[in-house]
Every structure is written in C-alpha cells, then in structure tokens.
Chain A
Amino acid sequence: MSLKVITANLLREGDVVYLAADGTWSLWLDDAEMVDGADGAARLEAAGEKAVTGLLVIGPYLMDVTEEAGRPKPIGTREKIRAKGPTTHLNFGKQAMHGASGAGGIG
C-alpha cells in the first residue's frame, strides 16, 4: 500500500483542494493528511463523500504521494500541475498566491 491523500475540486470555485487532518479542505497539498493502508484510505474516501453531499467539493479521489520531510509530495506531472497551477502562467493558480509553497514550474 502506498501513501495516499484525498483531493477534489471545490464546488463553487473549482479550485483543487486536499483534505487536512483537522477535517478541513485546504488549497495546499502540504496540509493534506497522509494515510498508509486500506483503513486510512477508506476513512478519507468516506470524508470525501461527506464533503460531496455537504456541497463543499466535487469529484474526490485518492491520490498517491511520496513523503518528504514529513510533507506529501505529488507523483507525476498531472498532480504536480494540479498542486500549483499552469506551468505556462506562473502568475495564475496557487503558485501565484501569497504563501504558496514551491512556486514556479513543476520542477
């Protein structure tokens, strides 16, 4: 079993979000709760479904991550781009926001 977090898009804004350990949905992958194992994954999925019926998010899904310095890191270009914003418009998306971690390109 690999490390996973759960991600979705906000219903109203469309922004990419991740479920944090305190039960809130964060714009930042850094905040996401990582789980390892089927039980943890099932718990995240249940929380995702609850946020769908609660009209917070749409399309939640589990995504594989690696861990670096205790923080989740995306695997693959698609999730790297989702986490930051378009690589062609570094002034748009999360990478442009104050406090964005690791802004600029997908590295």
Chain B
Amino acid sequence: MYRYDEFDETLVRERVEQFRGQVRRRVSGDLTEDQFKPLRLMNGLYLQLHAYMLRVAIPYGTLSSRQLRQLGTIARRYDKDYAHFTTRQNIQYNWPRLEEVPDLLSDLADVEMHGIQTSGNCIRNVTADQYAGVAADEIDDPRIYAEIIRQWSTLHPEFSFLPRKFKIAVTGTPHDRAAVRVHDIGLHIRRNEAGEAGFEVIVGGGQGRTPIIGKTIRDFLPKRHLLSYLEAILRVYNQLGRRDNLFKARIKILVNAVGPDVFARMVEEEWAHIKDSPLALPADEIARIKAYFAPPLYEALSADQPAFVAKHLEDPAFARWVKTNVAAHKQPGYAIANISLKPEGGIPGDATAEQMEGLADLAERFSFSEIRVTHEQNLVLPYVRQIDLYALWQGLGELDLDSPNLGLISDMIACPGLDYCNLANARSIPVAQAISRRFADLKRQHDIGELKLKISGCINACGHHHVGHIGILGVDKRGEEFYQITLGGSADENAALGDIVGPSFSYDEVVDAVETIVDAYLDLREDEAEAFLQTYARVGLQPFKEKLYATH
C-alpha cells in the first residue's frame, strides 16, 4: 500500500491545525457561516438534515486494517457506532459535533487519512477497480496511476476552483468495475498494437440531471503523458466550463456543446504546449510508485486446494457464499473475497464500529492486512488463501457480514436519501430495505440472477440510478415521495443509460412495481442463461410497461 511521505504527513497535519483554528474562529464569531462554509467543505464537512456530516477520502478504495480499525474507533468516539460507505469508495460519519471535528480529523491523520477534496469544485478522490492488483485479466494496476493522479491533484492551485466538481476513475481490466464511462474523466488501461500498456481516455461522462456516457477522446495515451494530458483536459475545462449556471457547469455539458471531436482537438492543442514539460512521467517515477503496490508475499500454492474443494461439498451454505461472493484471483491458490454490506433488510453501505474492527482483525489474519471499498458499497478482502476461506466465512458470519448476495437483486446501491441528505427529494434507504425484504428468498434471488438495482433520492444521482439495470429515482410531488423507474442501464464497459418506463410510483407502490418488473423478466427470458439486461435488449421497454401499467 502507499504510505505517506514527509510531504503528505506535513500537509495533512497542518491542514488539521488550520481547520482547528477555523472552527475556533467560527464559534467565536470571527467567521460568518458564509465565510466558513467553503472552508469546512474543503475538509469534507457538510451540514445535512439532522447534523454535520464528515466525508472521509479513501483513495482508490484501498484501506489497511489499521485504517479500518481506526474508522471503527472514530465511529464509536464521535458518531453513533456506525458509518456509511459511499459510491465514491469513501466513508461518511453522520453525527459529529462541529467542535469535535478537528480532533476527529487528527485521529484520521494518525492513520494517514483526511477529508480533503471530498467536497467542493476540485478534483475529488480518485476511484479505481476494487480488484486492482489481483484480477486475473489485469493489464496494469490502476492504483499506481490513481496514486500519481492523487499526488498531482492534491491542492493543485490551478484546479482548486473549477467550474464544478471533477471525478476521475481508473480501471485496468477489460471488464470495467469502476464505472469509468460515467465519470468526468475515465481512464481505461489498454494495450496498443505494440503490446504497451496505456490509457483510453474517456471524457464527459456523468450522471446527475443530465446523464451522459463519456466519449473517448484518445484511444491510447502512453503512460508517460498521463499527467500532462489530464492537465490539458482540466485546463480546457477550467477556461471554457460554464460558471454562470450550476446545472451546466460539469465538463460533460462542455464536451456535448462543442462536440467530442472539437473538444479533443482543443485538448490536443493545449497538450502540445505542455507535453514535454516536467509533468512527463519518467519510467523510474512510475516504478517508484508501483513499488508501493507490490504484491504481498504469496505462498506458492496449487489452484483449487483440495481442502477448500472438500469444504465446498461439506457445507452448502459455504458453497453458496463462495459461488456469489468469491472471485477468481490471479495467484493460484488465492481468492478475492467480497463482503456484502447488504444484509437482508439492512442499510446498503452501513457498517458498525464492531464490524469495522472485526473485519480489520479478519484482514490481518487472512488478507495481508488489506481491505478494499467498492463503488457498489461493499468491501473486499483481496488476498485470501483458498484454504482460509472457510474460517474467514465463519468469522464474517459472527459479524453478520456473510450475506451471499453479491451481484444479486438485494445487492443494491442506495444513496442516503431524504433520511439524511439536505439535497434529497425522497427516501432511498427504506425503499432498498423493503426490496431487500421482498426478495429475501435466496433461491429466488439466484433464479433471477445478476441484477443491479440502484436507487437515488434525487436527480443528483449519487445512487447511480441512471446506470442501474433497474434504476429508481426519488422525486417530490407536492411534498410526497414518488419514484421514477428506469430499465436497461449499465455502468460497465457497455455503459448505457436506463429508459424511463412511464409515470412514477408512490412510496407504497414502488416495491410492487419492482417485483412486477422482475416477474415480467422471468416470464420473458428465453432461458435461465439470459440475464435481465439481455432480455431487456431483446424485448425492449414495451412488455415491461404493459405489465406495470396494466391495472392503471
């Protein structure tokens, strides 16, 4: 894992003390709320419905066990014994008191963490594939480049006051788990014809009010040019992005307005000036960062360890968990263990202090002390020996973290919604909980197969509803909650935006509507091998619409 150098350490410590002074001046009246608000947001501190909320950055979703344990300790010390993992691979505390936040930030700094650039119109925490470094088909490790981008973008003076927030995601495998096509910039690591690894550069994707799939403006960018090319994109956006209209300020609006070809040309023109500047990444600098992400000391093991295979046969519940939650590892004899934060009727992404501390212990025993956070609000232990999976699964069971539902309908994304969020129009979490209970029967979930359901409580789309196979968007109709449903969205390498099925459903109707859609799919599919998205691509919206509105 990356470890802070003296610059990182000094910067974060100084920032804590700076914020301590700012809070002191706020409560003594030397700063008004108008003056203080941008300062607190620069440290990730929001005011939500019931309390302040602190968003903590988890760079590219990678945590050490020490960090996760400290996140649990902080939940006990400053919050109500829990925290919430977000779709930006971050974590949020919902109940800190203003005057305690500097101490909280100091406790975070003790484990090399902070809330810098988790808010505001700057380059936000860079996200990456949660299987980085362990996926069998990986071309190159996205964490290396996410870390390089983190260092470049941290407090970058030119890009601290962009027209709007700016989100970058990196993935290193053909199958995209990082939703790079719905980011301001998506970097998809590819090989060119010469076999060298570089980046496909995708720009102007995003969700929110105006959802757009990003456009590829460069098929292949050599690694050494990563930062100069990003700087060129940001520079064009910073100059031409709309600052006059909040709803038109994201880069996607600019790319769409001028057209991707023209935008690409502007970037190339800017890039020509800085291509060979000190921003060029020498191979030894890439190698220096890469060394932080060196693989752990794997044992030489054969694939499909007999003891592991035997446990499979002995214990069907274990076998079921392995089937859904365990992914293939590039190292023989090892496995990637996904930990679902979606227990039946639970709150997607919530983890208690006890769970965080317990999982930190399990990571130390079974996964070289490392944990990943996924944008789908789950956790991953990336380096588990197959022969340890059974003991791990039992340990997870004791923490109520053994839900065998990864990728199934109950493995939903849901934003905090109107239960917490100041921007929300409708609740998301209770809808997710009700759907989870409705589809509690695991056999039924397995029969339905892979189905990604995503719920947002407002058009800002933190719950990624536009790219859900089934998307649910909460809207406000005269003070009452209604839900608009979309079908056919996808966040992976075949990214697509969902189509609106028709008029929205009330809070009391929406779970039934989801069940109607699922039942319609089960009727319509050609066979069990045809996944929801495939059926949808074949039959389109109409058959679902007919079922949904038949009685209306």
Contacts and interface: CB of A to CB of B under 8 A. Distances in A.
A101 B420 CA distance: 20
B278 interface: no
Nearest to A74: B479
A14 B33 CA distance: 13
B49 A16 contact: yes
Dominant SS among interface residues on chain A:
loop
Contact of A86 (B28, B33, B50, B97): B50
A48 interface: no
A77 B417 CA distance: 12
A88 B480 contact: no
A88 B47 contact: no
A81 B99 contact: no
A82 interface: yes
A57 to B, nearest CB: 10
B33 A58 contact: yes
Given A11-B27, A13-B98, A14-B52, A77 B33 contact: no
Contact of A14 (B50, B424, B429): B50
Contact of A87 (B27, B33, B80, B419): B419
A14 B479 contact: no
A38 interface: no
B346 to A, nearest CB: 10
Nearest to A57: B33
Contacts of A11: 26-27, 33, 98
Contacts of B419: 81, 86-89
Interface string B407-431: 0000000000011100010110110
Chain B's interface size range is 20 to 34
Chain A's interface size range is 20 to 34
B117 interface: no
Interface in B75-90: 80
Contact of A55 (B29, B95, B480): B29
A82 B430 contact: no
A16 B50 CA distance: 6
Interface string A34-78: 000000000000000000110100110000000000000001111
Contacts of B28: 55
B51 A14 contact: yes
B347 interface: yes
Given A12-B97, A75-B479, A77-B426, A85 B27 contact: no
A93 B50 contact: yes
Contacts of B112: none
Contacts of A87: 419, 427, 430
A85 B80 CA distance: 13
Contact of A82 (B50, B99, B433): B50
A85 to B, nearest CB: 6
Contact of B98 (A14, A53, A75, A89): A14
B481 interface: yes
Interface in B54-102: 80, 95, 97-99
B27 A55 contact: yes
A26 interface: no
Given A55-B29, A59-B47, A82-B49, A88 B347 contact: yes
B479 A92 contact: no
Given A52-B33, A75-B479, A81-B419, A13 B429 contact: no
14 contacts: A9-B47, A11-B33, A11-B98, A12-B97, A13-B51, A14-B51, A16-B50, A59-B47, A76-B480, A81-B418, A85-B50, A86-B419, A88-B419, A89-B80
Interface of B: 26-29, 33, 47-52, 80, 95, 97-99, 347, 418-420, 424, 426-427, 429-430, 433, 476, 479-481
Given A11-B33, A88-B433, A92-B80, 12 more contacts: A12-B97, A12-B98, A13-B98, A14-B51, A14-B97, A77-B418, A77-B479, A82-B49, A85-B50, A86-B429, A87-B427, A88-B429
| Nearest 4 interchain pairs by C-beta | A76-B479, A14-B51, A86-B419, A14-B52
